[in-house]
Amino acid sequence: MTDDAQTSHDATRSDPRPPTAAPRHDPAGAAGRSRRSILRGGVLAAAVAGLELLGQSSVVPSRNTALAATPGDGREPTLPDVQFDIADFIAPVTDVDGVDVQFGPVHTLFVTARLLRRPTRIDQVKLTGALAAVERAYPFSPSGVFTFLSYGLPYFGRLPGGLQGSLVSAHMPRLRSAAHRYVLEEAVPGPTDVSPVNSDITKRRFHVPVSIEGNDLLLTLRSDHAANIQDVLRWLGGSQTLAGRPQPSPPLGDLLSFTSTRAMFTQVGLPRKLADGASLPYAFMVNPRSPMWMGFTDQQTAGTASADAVTFRASGLTTAKPGSYFDHGAVQHLSHVLMDLQQFYDVDDAGVPGDDASFTERVQYMFRSTPPPSPGNTDQVTDGGGPAFLPNTFRGTDDALLSAQGQGTPDGEHRMGHLSCLQRSSRTADGRPLHVRMDGPGYSTMDVPDGSAQPKLEFTVFVPTADFFATMRRDQASLDLATAHGVPEDENGLERFLTATRRQNFLTPPRRHRAFPLVEFL
């Protein structure tokens, strides 16, 4: 994998975060290069190269593509106004070992960008045309390309009057519980992120401070075919060819500066394949049936909401009404996370397992201890030591509290699992999830201190409000319960294994307004 090309200047913008929050990555301009050369090379070129290895390592799954219209076949698909609502366009729910799962596209690429100026109505028309060209060339399906666009606070700050001006304030939904707050607020450091606001937090292997990014735009491209994403990137970069046919590239060179790319993959067995290929010391412990680095599947249908349920209109948490400008929108959180898998699997540099290498330890870190969802295999180490597919069971919002108190845990230990902590606030009162997770593994050099390629979690989630995610992230750490009930750091979920290096919140508008929202009112 290759690193992104992160640039070095952060434009002034309205910033609701307190002055003690983490520093921002600086994604604006690139000294010494023309706008045209930035568009054709740099970040996009690195992404094309980075997708090459993943494309060679993965396989294209067999799917039912009957729901997606093929370009030129005379059928026009009805695409959802909720941009990220792709459930009906991918493989149906599948039962694996008694667990219902649904796998998204194999490849996902997150592309962030800064605007070089305020977009105009003409720019809006051009972007609309560019998106339409991609969807004419490639079907809205895993065999083609799924395309989403989201916008950060800096984008809305560029509009006349800024974030508090009449244009934004008239259309941006607000919290139903606090009408003075927008649904979109900037991300903040998590409770266990390395940050000046968390002076007591240290990470064993990757002690990297989190940065709150300041991008205007997030483009998400998803496909089973890495080559399709590569082709779209080349076209955006000026190839003048799309899906093998002449197609003028969009004239974006004076408007956008691409600031980073992050490649994510989701396929059963692919993490183990990459770990073996890189001779990682814990490779023999990665479950060969898992689509995730930590050996457990994360695509259980019981752990995610429908796309519509998390929208501003349907969630019940915002002031958005049916027919309002952003009714079918949601907040998208994006973060880049380094994973200390050598500590998680508890092996030394030679691959010798330690005292906490057993499956029964790792399954409690991931899920819960009240009780652990599986005892695993007789051999607790090789190939993961237990099943990869386990149910995402909801045991109530007090599950983490009970385990922190040692009630129902093995030997009465005071410990908490990642999933039980999340479920303190991730669901509705009747137990339905209120988020759509779209995270998956990555493998790159991005933000790694020594420049080596390392396993990553490329995390993104769609939620009704930024405040909802901030609460869920605090509960994921559950430092309040750990302090109150004496939970040791090495018995508290996954926190010590994860280092988030970048965070930002975006607003994902409805499809009908995905091209530079609100610009038509200028």
Which residues have C-beta within 8 Å of that of residue 376, sequence separation ≥ 6? 358, 359, 360, 363, 385, 386, 387
DSSP state of 116: S
Which residues have C-beta within 8 Å of that of residue 341, sequence separation ≥ 6? 280, 282, 293, 294, 455, 497
Contact call for residues 293 and 266 (beta carbons, < 8 A): no
Element (H, E) at 132: helix 121-137
pTM score:
0.91
Q: What gap in Å lies between CA 332 and CA 438, rounded to an integer?
A: 10
Determine whether 204 is exposed, middle or buried from the number of CB atoms within 10 Å of its CB (0-12, 13-18, 19+). exposed
Closest CA to 229 of 85, 55, 397: 55
Helix then strand then coil, in percent of the chain rounded to 5, is: 30, 20, 50
Kindly list the domain boundaries of the chain, sorted by start residue: 35-61+89-510
**Tokens 């060339």 found at:** 137
Tell me whether strands 256-265 and 211-212 are parallel, antiparallel or unpaired.
unpaired
Q: What gap in Å lies between CA 21 and CA 213, rounded to an integer?
A: 12
Start-to-end Cα distance in the chain: 42
Closest CA to 190 of 486, 517, 495, 520: 495
Closest CA to 116 of 221, 219, 239, 217: 217
DSSP state of 289: T
pLDDT for residue 178: 97
Contact call for residues 44 and 258 (beta carbons, < 8 A): yes
Contact call for residues 380 and 360 (beta carbons, < 8 A): yes
pLDDT for residue 74: 52
Please give the backbone phi and psi of residue 125, each rounded to the nearest 5 degrees, phi first.
-65, -40
The DSSP annotation for 340-386 comes to -HHHHTTB-TT--B-TT-SHHHHHHHHT-SSS-S----SSSSGGGSS
Contact call for residues 403 and 380 (beta carbons, < 8 A): no
DSSP state of 60: P
**Tokens 């994998």 found at:** 1
Q: Prior bond to 18 cis, omega within 30?
A: no
Paired strand residues for 414: none
DSSP state of 492: B
pLDDT for residue 429: 84
Burial profile 218-255: b = 16 or more Cβ within 10 angstroms, e = fewer: bbbbbbbbbebbbbbbbbbbbeeebbeeebebbebbeb
Q: What gap in Å lies between CA 277 and CA 461, rounded to an integer?
A: 30
pLDDT for residue 519: 98
pLDDT per residue rounded down to tens, the chain (522 residues): 444 433 333 333 333 333 334 444 443 333 333 334 434 458 999 899 989 989 999 999 988 655 544 444 555 568 999 999 999 999 788 999 999 999 999 999 999 999 999 999 999 999 999 999 999 999 999 999 999 999 999 999 999 999 999 999 999 999 999 999 999 999 999 999 999 999 999 999 999 999 999 999 999 999 999 999 999 999 999 999 999 999 999 998 899 999 999 999 999 999 999 999 999 999 999 999 999 999 999 999 999 999 999 999 999 999 999 999 999 999 999 999 999 999 999 999 999 999 999 999 999 999 999 999 999 999 999 999 999 999 999 999 999 999 999 999 999 999 999 999 999 999 998 899 999 999 999 999 999 999 999 999 999 999 999 999 999 999 999 999 999 999 999 999 999 999 999 999 999 999 999 999 999 999
Locate the DSSP E strands across 65-142: 94-96, 99-101, 107-115
Contact call for residues 86 and 144 (beta carbons, < 8 A): no
pLDDT for residue 256: 94
pLDDT for residue 40: 46
Contact call for residues 426 and 397 (beta carbons, < 8 A): no
Q: What gap in Å lies between CA 325 and CA 421, rounded to an integer?
A: 35
pLDDT for residue 78: 84
Rg from Cα positions in the chain:
22
Contact call for residues 133 and 247 (beta carbons, < 8 A): yes
Which residues have C-beta within 8 Å of that of residue 196, sequence separation ≥ 6? 20, 22, 209
Which residues have C-beta within 8 Å of that of residue 103, sequence separation ≥ 6? 61, 90, 91, 94, 266, 267, 268, 291, 299
User: Is 454 in a helix, a strand, or coil?
Assistant: strand
pLDDT for residue 64: 66
Q: What gap in Å lies between CA 92 and CA 338, rounded to an integer?
A: 31
Burial profile 463-502: b = 16 or more Cβ within 10 angstroms, e = fewer: bbbbbbbbebbbbbbbbebbeebebeeebbbbbbbbbbbb
Tell me whether strands 146-152 and 217-223 are parallel, antiparallel or unpaired.
antiparallel
Q: What gap in Å lies between CA 469 and CA 14, rounded to an integer?
A: 21
Q: Mark out the alpha helices in 260-311 (DSSP H runs).
A: 270-277
Overall residue count recorded for the chain in this entry: 522
